[in-house]
Amino acid sequence: MRVTNQNLIQEEIKRRLNSGNACYHSVQNLLSSRLLSKSIKNRIYKTIILHVVPYGFETWSLTLREEHRLRVFENRLLRRIFGSKRDEVTGGWRKLQNEELLVLVLFSNWVVTIKLKRLQWAGHVQRMDKERIPKKILYSTIGGRRRAGKPRTRWIDAVEEDAKKLMGVRNWKRAAQEREEWRGLIREAKARHRTVAP
C-alpha cells in the first residue's frame, strides 16, 4: 500500500484501479464469451477482480470525489463484463443502468463494502490492549497547528459517520467492545445494504 506524507490515497486508488484493469484484461476472453452464463461471469468477477482492487481498503478515508471515482470505475467494468441489454419496447440494444448492474452482482457495492470493512477493522482495533501499536496509532495525536480552512476528514471521523449511517450506532467505541454484538451489527448492516464483502 502506498502512503503519502499528506495521508492522501489518490495515488493508491489509481494504482488499485490499474490493477483491476489488468485483472480484467487477463480474463477478458472468458468474460466476453457468450458461452458463459452471467452467474459464472459474476463468480469470476468476485473471485479475481473484486479481491484485487479494494486490497487494504480498511485503511482508506474516502472523499466524495474518490467514492464517485470508485463507483464510476466499478460500473464501467460491470458494463464491459455483462454487455448490453435488449430494450423490450424499442427492440434496440442499450447500456445497463446502474440499478440493473447492482442486481446482476447481488448488490455488491465497492463503496459500501469499504465502509463496512473499515467498521469491522475499527472494532477489532478498539478491542485491542492499549499497548498494541494499532491502538496507539488510532488514538495518537500529532503536534502543531492545522492549516486554515476545513480540515481533511480523518479515518476515525469516517468510522464514526459510517457507524451512524450504516449501523445506526451513535457510540461505536462502546458497541465495539462486545465482539459478538459488533459482529451482529456488521451482519445486519450487510444484509440491509445487500452488499457482498470480499
User: Would you state the pLDDT for residue 120?
Assistant: 92
Residues 45 and 93 reside in one and the same domain: yes
Q: Residues 186, 78, 166, CA angle at the centre, nearest 5°? A: 20
Residues 77 and 158 reside in one and the same domain: no
DSSP string, 30-98: HHT-SSS-HHHHHHHIIIIITTTTTTTGGG----HHHHHHHHHHHHHHHHHHH--EE-TTT-SEEPPPH
Are 113 and 91 in contact, with CB atoms under 8 Å apart? no
pLDDT in tens, 14-25: 888 898 889 888
Residue 2: inside a domain? no
Helical (H) or strand (E) element with 137: helix 133-139
Residues 15 and 99 reside in one and the same domain: yes
Domain closes at, from 105, 140, 165 = 105
125: confidence class by pLDDT, cuts 50, 70, 90:
very high
Average pLDDT, the chain: 81
Residue 1: inside a domain? no
Look at the chain and report how many structural domains it folds into: 2
Residue 84: inside a domain? yes
User: Would you state the pLDDT for residue 122?
Assistant: 93
User: Would you state the pLDDT for residue 144?
Assistant: 65
Residues 83 and 122 reside in one and the same domain: no
pLDDT in tens, 87-107: 776 777 777 777 777 776 655
Residues 137 and 85 reside in one and the same domain: no
197: confidence class by pLDDT, cuts 50, 70, 90:
very low
Residues 86 and 163 reside in one and the same domain: no
pLDDT above 80: residue 190: yes
pLDDT above 70: residue 50: yes
User: pLDDT above 90 covers what percent of the chain?
Assistant: 21
Highest mean pLDDT among 148-152, 161-165, 191-195: 161-165
Residue 172: inside a domain? yes
Q: Specify which residues 93 forms β-bridges with.
A: 86
81: confidence class by pLDDT, cuts 50, 70, 90:
confident
Q: Which domain holds residue 183?
A: 114-193
Residues 81 and 144 reside in one and the same domain: no
Residue 42: inside a domain? yes
